[in-house]
Structure 1
């Protein structure tokens, strides 16, 4: 009779690619089930039979037996497109042990339909279904051979546990089977009903810590916490869609945030986590909805005092051409003068004076009257004056620009440049996982990165140290952008920190959820809907813009309070900008002093 009920269920949910895993405790022969033709028809891709006998064995032996079975059964599931699991047992202790170890061994996912065949009194059956994750949350039904009146003694009832209904969690009978009437599903019920399409307003536990712009906490009226941030808005949209109330479980560290997920106290950690191999051993992830790049921030490189500031406005080619013109023009002018002197006679003009006059015209001095008045010299002098005007205007304009907008030193933009430049790299407490990950890398570059990494209490401490010292800070790109906008931006909108162009880990990120969480398909579908609608990016842009405006307003207010008689909006040039001019002046004073002593000694 049990075989007929099992066959009817398997045939009702059969697919062309389904296989069957059959488990018994040794008290029921697998042939009792397999001899029914409908069981074979419902499993077109084959049947795997397992017998686990643990009666009278101690805990260690039981653990070893279940571990071996689950390892083999899970391999069958992973290699099959569609799997149905049938457990035949009448011992509640065995069933409870199976429920516990099926979670540890990761045997089931929501797509894996579990059929438990037993004969338990209804109170014991209700307690069993309600007290274990495998039976209450997973896609499970239970075929129970009930102790019914004689005219119904061949009836098999099908039960399932619904964790969320308008009346709360309850066990319901969804179908029945008798040899005479066959398989009958009750009106308004389905054989494997969806359990997570509607939570009917119940509280769903989640864990999170403040991590702007993803998750932020504020103290509201009457001490009630109020939440905001892109991930909170995302969670709120999902909660509205699935009709549940958000309950944030208190935690004190990021390790505790994910630990509550592993323990299934929390359904999910609702702040994105980067997908790492080490983390996948402890929990699963939702649909990847965020580009979880790990970026580095460093202080903007300062302007170093350089005498070359007088040289930068023109290129090397221009300076060479000017020097060549300054050498050729006096020679040509001197040639014209000498020809005139030979033809007309008169006082001889010294060569030094010609060079001095040509150089003076280039520097904008008055036109000397001692030059000859012949047409050829006038044409040459006019051309030279025109050149001097154009050159001087271009140089002065570019010099002004280079003094007010000086040339900054190159800054680190790649991982290689970061490792070569930074003396120390900081990261918040959760960064210990990344430090270990980098240290085990085969890349020497990432190993060096791991050696430079140090853990600091928070991003505020890390970024402040990056401003004060020759350091860098690692964290999520969006998070650092918001923190820079809040704390490290001037009244003119200039940030004190910048984000490198190359990400340390351009990886994927999602919400941590328990291994093989049955609600993942529903959660993923809601995540996709919100992300594809563009809402997540819009929320992030709005929060970042708001933070930038607030930061500018705060800095402008501080600057206004510091204002004196001078207009603080005007940017004053510092010795850093004008060092070249002072060095040129000192050089001129030195040359003048040397010339004075030479003239004094020779007179």
Structure 2
């Protein structure tokens, strides 16, 4: 009996082995055909990067003639182990330049865990190809590392009517089935190269509907006009815009009043703080405060397209007006005064000298009075002067009228509007001035960015930068006290700085520089970047969002009246036309003088004949 049992077991093993080999070969043919259809069909224009485990590599290699000869895109390949041990550039593992295709027999949980330990893995499009019907594709699709991708397409071998085929699916974690379960795996049906011939067929939007989910916001409601507290609730332009998105995409959200560590979000000792830490490890989904798009944040987090962009601005103490007693000198610059005085002296002395040498006129004082009368716009009587002298004085008086009229108009402005000395209006001028820089230290990266800047003016400002820690009661009191003394300029985002200027009654004694440290966007997302990429971009082009932004900025809408300016002095270049006119008159009078001179020379000769 025992011998019969052993014989039966041996015979069963032979049958199993005989049936396994042909089935494996058949599977190999199906795999070859399906993957070839995939890369030559919807992925024919994608740059592909195949990641294959050891068993999958024995069944199919991405080195077939057709794959290597794709006319548009390139193809890379690696094994799971080799990929983890070799460094690859960031553009290969994240973004939309390369589409990874992960091919595996065994569930790649070790690979996914290793990739999820850092921020380098973040491809926009991801293709998963499972060559085993026993693998749990739902568990694979639900892995957090897989869910980082905006678009996901999955293929898995299944048995249908005794044949091996591929089932296609994606992941819609925000949607629910009829039983209320999350559609982590949402089947498309069996693979059909005709139904999946286009790229859009395998990569549909995954977040067109959130199914009533509640999202946790990493926010700080102290970011006027984007987020601020009113009647105990957090509101603002960004909250209203996000509420419109929530209504459209069918989700609700919970707003956090402030981060636990009261930091905005920067890297300290290699770890994110503030709202960035809430996104990374504290269970928050989205941050909608004002954030600058720097390289560190772009490396570790996803952003939507910004619908509003502004920079950091400088608020400086307004210098006191110039003294009233010498306002008669303000309309002209020193160079202009010098030009007026010099030209008047030149015209008076040269005209007196020529009249004395040519006509023997000894009355020098009378000539000086005639020249000076033009500058002072006084009438004079000209008798018995030669024609060339009349032309000379005519053009000089015309130039003098223009200069004196400009002076009179400018003098009226200076007598009615306060005049201020020259003040810093550019970053370079601020760096060259005696004014230092102050910023509230709430975890912003701007101080470190200034210190590492290669721009000479920004580097000089970094040397003059003073910071004070964030104080819940009055975080800006120290900075504004220094601003009132005229020793420091306060650095903050442009909109919020205008709001602070109004709230602290600094409008009359301060101004905001036109020049800003540029760079920044409003909306920032965590792991759900794909959900809001399209809708935020669409809102940015709509009138409703412009209305929200204008309403949210209402508190700082009057900043245009804060720039109190006195009249600028008239430079020589602005009145060069009057001097050119005078020069032209000198030429004409010279021609008249030459004509009179020749006429006098010719008159005696005619009489003698």
How far residue 273 of structure 1 moved from its aligned partner, in angstroms, is: 1.4
Q: Secondary structure at the match of 2:215?
A: strand
Say if 1:453 and 1:272 are closer, same or farther in 2 by CA, change over 3 A. Answer: same
Task: State the distance in 2 between where 1:79 and 1:510 align.
Answer: 21
| Cα-Cα RMSD | 4.8
Say if 1:171 and 1:404 are closer, same or farther in 2 by CA, change over 3 A. Answer: closer
Matching residue of 1:14: 42
2:229 counterpart of 1:211: no
Q: For 1:242-257, list aligned pairs within 5 A.
A: 242-249=249-256, 251=259, 252-255=262-265, 256-257=274-275
Is the 8 Å Cα contact of residues 20 and 86 (structure 1) preserved in structure 2?
Answer: no
Q: 1:194 aligns with which of 190, 198, 205?
A: 205
Q: Secondary structure at the match of 1:473?
A: strand
How far residue 475 of structure 1 moved from its aligned partner, in angstroms, is: 1.1
Task: State the distance in 2 between where 1:89 and 1:429 align.
Answer: 52
Q: 1:68 aligns with which of 85, 109, 116?
A: 85
| Structure-2-length-normalised TM-score | 0.62
How far residue 227 of structure 1 moved from its aligned partner, in angstroms, is: 1.6
Is the 8 Å Cα contact of residues 96 and 123 (structure 2) preserved in structure 1?
Answer: no
Q: 2:52 aligns with which of 24, 46, 50?
A: 24
Is the 8 Å Cα contact of residues 297 and 497 (structure 1) preserved in structure 2?
Answer: yes
Matching residue of 2:437: 425
Q: For 1:35-184, list aligned pairs within 5 A.
A: 45=73, 47-53=75-81, 65-69=82-86, 71-72=87-88, 83-90=99-106, 92=107, 94-101=108-115, 104=118, 106-120=120-134, 124-135=136-147, 138-145=150-157, 151-152=161-162, 154-166=164-176, 167-172=180-185, 174-175=187-188, 177=190
String of CA shifts for 1:92-144, please: whole Å, max 9, x gaps: 3x4343354167363442334333443436xx543343243315865334444
Task: State the distance in 1 between where 2:89 and 2:449 align.
Answer: 32
Is the 8 Å Cα contact of residues 125 and 151 (structure 2) preserved in structure 1?
Answer: yes
How far residue 474 of structure 1 moved from its aligned partner, in angstroms, is: 0.8
How far residue 434 of structure 1 moved from its aligned partner, in angstroms, is: 1.7
Matching residue of 1:446: 458
String of CA shifts for 1:362-403, please: whole Å, max 9, x gaps: 9xxxxxxxxxxxxxxxxxxxxxxxxxxxxxxx9999989756
2:288 counterpart of 1:270: yes
Task: State the distance in 1 between where 2:112 and 2:476 align.
Answer: 45
Task: State the distance in 2 between where 1:419 and 1:194 align.
Answer: 49
Decide which moves more: 203-212 or 101-110: 101-110
Say if 1:161 and 1:196 are closer, same or farther in 2 by CA, change over 3 A. Answer: same
Is the 8 Å Cα contact of residues 56 and 103 (structure 2) preserved in structure 1?
Answer: no
Task: State the distance in 2 between where 1:216 and 1:79 align.
Answer: 34
2:480 counterpart of 1:480: no
Q: For 1:540-555, list aligned pairs within 5 A.
A: 540-546=549-555
Task: State the distance in 1 between where 2:168 and 2:63 align.
Answer: 21
Structure 1 alignment gaps of length 5 or more = 54-64, 325-361, 363-393, 553-603
Q: For 1:431-580, list aligned pairs within 5 A.
A: 433-456=445-468, 457=470, 458-459=475-476, 461-488=478-505, 495-503=508-516, 505-514=517-526, 519-546=528-555
Say if 1:244 and 1:415 are closer, same or farther in 2 by CA, change over 3 A. Answer: same
Task: State the distance in 2 between where 1:241 and 1:200 align.
Answer: 11
How far residue 5 of structure 1 moved from its aligned partner, in angstroms, is: 4.9
Say if 1:542 and 1:45 are closer, same or farther in 2 by CA, change over 3 A. Answer: closer
Matching residue of 2:570: none
Matching residue of 1:569: none
String of CA shifts for 1:506-561, please: whole Å, max 9, x gaps: 224343334xx5x53552322222222244444343344456789x9xxxxxxxxx
| Structure-1-length-normalised TM-score | 0.63
Q: Secondary structure at the match of 1:205?
A: strand
Task: State the distance in 1 between where 2:89 and 2:131 align.
Answer: 18
Is the 8 Å Cα contact of residues 2 and 33 (structure 1) preserved in structure 2?
Answer: no
Say if 1:318 and 1:8 are closer, same or farther in 2 by CA, change over 3 A. Answer: closer
How far residue 261 of structure 1 moved from its aligned partner, in angstroms, is: 2.8
How far residue 271 of structure 1 moved from its aligned partner, in angstroms, is: 1.5
Is the 8 Å Cα contact of residues 96 and 124 (structure 2) preserved in structure 1?
Answer: no
Q: Secondary structure at the match of 2:521?
A: strand
How far residue 274 of structure 1 moved from its aligned partner, in angstroms, is: 1.7
Matching residue of 2:30: 4
Is the 8 Å Cα contact of residues 66 and 101 (structure 1) preserved in structure 2?
Answer: no
Say if 1:208 and 1:311 are closer, same or farther in 2 by CA, change over 3 A. Answer: same
String of CA shifts for 1:132-172, please: whole Å, max 9, x gaps: 331586533444445x69x5463544444321114352244
Is the 8 Å Cα contact of residues 87 and 117 (structure 1) preserved in structure 2?
Answer: yes
Q: Secondary structure at the match of 2:311?
A: strand
Q: 2:236 aligns with which of 222, 225, 228?
A: 228
Task: State the distance in 2 between where 1:120 and 1:527 align.
Answer: 41
Matching residue of 1:295: 313
String of CA shifts for 1:274-299, please: whole Å, max 9, x gaps: 22234334334321333322110112
Task: State the distance in 2 between where 1:530 and 1:433 align.
Answer: 28
Task: State the distance in 2 between where 1:508 and 1:141 align.
Answer: 33
Say if 1:42 and 1:261 are closer, same or farther in 2 by CA, change over 3 A. Answer: farther
How far residue 88 of structure 1 moved from its aligned partner, in angstroms, is: 1.0
Is the 8 Å Cα contact of residues 143 and 157 (structure 1) preserved in structure 2?
Answer: yes
Task: State the distance in 2 between where 1:23 and 1:319 align.
Answer: 81
